[in-house]
Structure 1
Amino acid sequence: MQKGLLEAAISGANTRTSHAQVVNELGRAIIAGEYPVGSTLPGDVDLAARFKVSRTVLREAMKTLAAKGLVVPRARIGTRVTPNTQWNLFDGDILTWHFAVGINEEFLTHLSEVRLGFEPHAAALAARNATEADISQMMRLAVAMGDPEHTAGSMAMADLKFHLSVLEASGNPFLRTLGSLIEAGLVGAFTLSSPAEDRSKINDVAANHIRIVEEIHKRDEEGARSAMENVIRLGRERVVQALRDVT
């Protein structure tokens, strides 16, 4: 099974198959602007020689990039890079490549705006639909975030598990498919800043997540919505400040 964005970021795992290597390197180069919008990628012969792969592997890689909206093949013209408005930003690889080449405050703001658009609603739905077993699981995960032995990586994974459990408890299958956006936000937190770097903040983070579960347990939809909004906004402020500190 393919590793998620966060697990890959933490482990530093490298792409292994020839197909994945070609997709990864070309995708990252496109996101980085090495191949500008409207430009044509090098021909098949050149790319096959560069990556030391067969034409078949190269064609499959191009199909993958096209499916992600990054390129479009044109007969007798070549494979062109599409405008970023056509890129599938919900795609896990594309999100990973953005973080790999360097993100800015605008990107993080847009990402948090999307999270604010669906996660608070997921929390409200969880207050309506969650079973007692769901609530117990969410509480265990929220409490686990307060472990003083957390590293930045383990803290981010604990955070991810909690937020995915809320999507699951919402009972809405469409919301459950948006987990990659949460992962992307937490990749940003992991790479730029983490509460685990300041032990005094770990308990505060856990308490804020526990509050979400308490509101869900009370079946208070607006309370759950507000508690989730608070967690996302605090996380955004921490990461944006860290980004400003390094720029």
Structure 2
Amino acid sequence: MRRGVLETVISGRKTRTSHAQVVDELGRAIIAGEYPVGATLPGDLDLAQRFKVSRTVLREAMKTLAAKGLIVPRARIGTRVTPKNQWNLFDGDVLTWHFHKGVDLEFLTHLSEIRLAFEPAAASLAATNATDEDVKQLYTLAAEMSESTHTPETLALADLKFHLCVAEASRNPFMRTVGSLIEAALVGVFKLSSPASGESRREEVSEAHTRIVDAIAAHDVDGAAEAMRKVIITGRERVKVALEEH
């Protein structure tokens, strides 16, 4: 099973297969600007020798990068890096590579804007469609955020589980596809500012998420959306403060 953005950033583990290694290293290099937009990548023979892989493995890796919108092959010209507006920012790998390079407030703000467009709507749908079992699980996940044993890493993962559970409870299959964006936004919060350092802040996080569940359990469509909106905005403001301090 593919590891998500958050787990990849937390663990720092690198991929192991030859195909994944080529995709990862070239993807990071493109996002970092080592191969700028419009640049032509080295030829297949050079890349195959560099990564010590077969031409078959290299071709499959190039197909993967093309599917992510990063490159496009051109006959008699070579493989070129595409404009940034063609990169698939919904792709977990592309988001991971952005965080490896280092992101700024503008990038994180864009992520929060997308979350504000999707997640309050997911919470509203959950207020209509969530089952009793969904509500029970959400209460459990919200309560777990206040546990004193949390490290920044475990709290970030607990936060992620909660938000993905809301997306599932919406019963809209498209909501689940924004999971990588939710992960990426939480990666930003995790790397820059985590509430795990103080018990009072953990309690605040737990209570804020519990208010989302309260509204879902009460079938309060507007209340669920507003509670979710407040959680996202609070996280965004915490990241802004952390960036200013840095």
TM-score higher than 0.5 here?
yes
Cα offset, 1:60, TM superposition: 0.7
Cα offset, 1:159, TM superposition: 0.2
Q: Hey, what's the Cα distance between the residues in 2 that align with 1:179 and 1:95?
A: 12
Who is 1:95 aligned against? 95
Contact 1:41 1:78 in 2 (8 A): yes
Secondary structure, counterpart of 2:147 in structure 1: coil
Cα offset, 1:244, TM superposition: 2.3
TM (normalized to structure 1)? 0.98
Who is 1:46 aligned against? 46
The amino acid that maps onto 1:20 is: A
Give the ranges of 4+ consecutive aligned residues of structure 1 lying more than 2 Å apart after TM superposition.
Answer: 197-200
Cα offset, 1:52, TM superposition: 1.1
Q: Hey, what's the Cα distance between the residues in 1 that align with 2:198 and 2:237?
A: 15
Who is 1:185 aligned against? 185
Matches within 5 A, 1:1-247: 1-246=1-246
Cα offset, 1:218, TM superposition: 1.1
Contact 2:146 2:199 in 1 (8 A): no
Cα offset, 1:240, TM superposition: 2.1
Structure 1 portions without partners, runs of 5+: none
Secondary structure, counterpart of 2:80 in structure 1: strand
The amino acid that maps onto 1:242 is: A
Q: Hey, what's the Cα distance between the residues in 2 that align with 1:46 and 1:197?
A: 48
Q: Hey, what's the Cα distance between the residues in 1 that align with 2:2 and 2:165?
A: 20
Cα offset, 1:198, TM superposition: 2.8
The amino acid that maps onto 1:104 is: D
The amino acid that maps onto 1:47 is: L
TM (normalized to structure 2)? 0.98
Bigger shift: residues 236-245 or 176-185: 236-245
Bigger shift: residues 18-27 or 5-14: 5-14
Listed one character per residue, the Cα deviations across residues 197-233 of structure 1 (whole Å, up to 9, x for unaligned) are 2332000000000000001111111000000000000
The amino acid that maps onto 2:44 is: D
Q: Hey, what's the Cα distance between the residues in 2 that align with 1:136 and 1:62?
A: 45
Structure 2 portions without partners, runs of 5+: none
Bigger shift: residues 6-15 or 157-166: 6-15
Bigger shift: residues 237-246 or 135-144: 237-246
Question: Kindly, what percent of the aligned residue pairs are identical?
Answer: 67
The amino acid that maps onto 1:88 is: N
Contact 2:8 2:96 in 1 (8 A): no
Q: Hey, what's the Cα distance between the residues in 2 that align with 1:20 and 1:131?
A: 39
Cα offset, 1:4, TM superposition: 1.1
The amino acid that maps onto 2:12 is: G
Cα offset, 1:28, TM superposition: 0.6
The amino acid that maps onto 1:109 is: T
Contact 1:108 1:240 in 2 (8 A): no
Secondary structure, counterpart of 1:223 in structure 2: helix
Q: Hey, what's the Cα distance between the residues in 1 that align with 2:21 and 2:241?
A: 34
Please provide the CA RMSD for this pair. 0.8
Contact 1:160 1:183 in 2 (8 A): yes
Contact 1:5 1:180 in 2 (8 A): yes
Q: Hey, what's the Cα distance between the residues in 2 that align with 1:193 and 1:74?
A: 43
Q: Hey, what's the Cα distance between the residues in 2 that align with 1:164 and 1:3?
A: 15
